[in-house]
Amino acid sequence: MTSAAIAARHAIRNKQHRGPTAGLAPGFVQGNLAVLPAAQAADFMRFCHLNPKPCPVIGVGEPGSGRIPALGADLDIRTDISEFCVWKDGELVGVVDDLSQVWRDDLVAFVIGCSFSFEEALIEAGIRMRHIERRRNVAMYRTNIATAPAGPFGGPMVVSMRPLKPADAIRAIQITSRFPNVHGAPVHFGDPAAIGIADVTKPDFGDFVGIEPGEVPVFWACGVTPQSAVRAARPSLSITHKPGSMLVTDLRNAQLASF
């Protein structure tokens, strides 16, 4: 029997599914994509190793290959994501629905964990995610927390913010601590200025969904960090997924839990 993850990848590969993958193949891990020339790949790998909270690598392909067998036997990132952003020298030059015209023998694919996995665990625990209920993107902010640089890759950590009551925040810290491969525990809660966020109502990416009385903002390291590090490094060519249109893998969210 075909799993929901394989069915989702096939639908994407056959152009039957287009656009965002939120809600597709519940229970399966979805990942962020970053593709770089082999010349930059070692530095980027080291950058991810040095910054595991924003850049948790869950899969790496061999140079020139779109396959990552550890994430799915038939998986090929070149066909299994519905929208790709293609960057040259740090500038967006196109959005394409497969990579056949763009692929090169020296490209290396990185798949990085995504907060979808821990949000599923939080919702199962009864913790409400307001941005999901309102069908908005999570609010994301550039911070004054520096990543550890590696070669051309560096820059500030980007965080996502979810407003929670303290008791839910404590439970969310416990739950997300179990998921080091998808950003793990928060990096901060409370005063946004303490991590360099001047106005929490104005995110750099995504949508602000309010902070109600009795709630505190809770900040997690975010997978936009490596994307923004790649862009700032201005490699001759790089490829990312279009935000929201993720890679659906055969890993289950529950498999990522560390205890």
Size, binding site for its own copies by CB under 8 A = 18
Stretch that binds its own copies, among 65-73, 154-162, 168-176, 204-212 (CB under 8 A): 168-176
Partners of 201 in the beta sheet?
none
- DSSP character string of 117-153: HHHHHHHHTT---HHHHTT-PPEEEEEEEEPPPBTTB
169 scored as a contact of its own copies (CB under 8 A): yes
* SS3 label, residue 3: coil
Is residue 254 close enough to count as binding its own copies by CB under 8 A?
Answer: no
Q: Is 166 in the site for its own copies (CB under 8 A)?
A: yes
> Judged by CB, which is closer to its own copies: 155, or 186?
186
Q: Which two tokens stand for residue 258?
A: 């560390």
Nearest approach in angstroms of CB 92 to its own copies is: 34
**Is residue 187 a contact point for its own copies (CB under 8 A)?**
yes
Q: Is the dihedral of CA 196, 58, 67, 32 positive or negative?
A: negative
Q: CA 70, 71, 74, 80: dihedral to nearest 10 degrees?
A: -150
Write the CB contacts of 222 (distance below 8 Å, at least 6 apart in sequence).
Answer: 54, 115, 140, 157, 158, 159, 160, 183
Binders of its own copies among residues 205 to 244 (CB under 8 A) are 214, 216
Choices 111-119, 135-143, 151-159, 180-188 (CB under 8 A): range interacting with its own copies: 180-188
- Taking contact as CB under 8 A, which single stretch among the options 43-51, 58-66, 183-191, 244-252 is the one that binds its own copies? 183-191
Binding residues for its own copies (CB under 8 A): 166-167, 169-170, 173-174, 177, 185-191, 194, 214, 216, 259
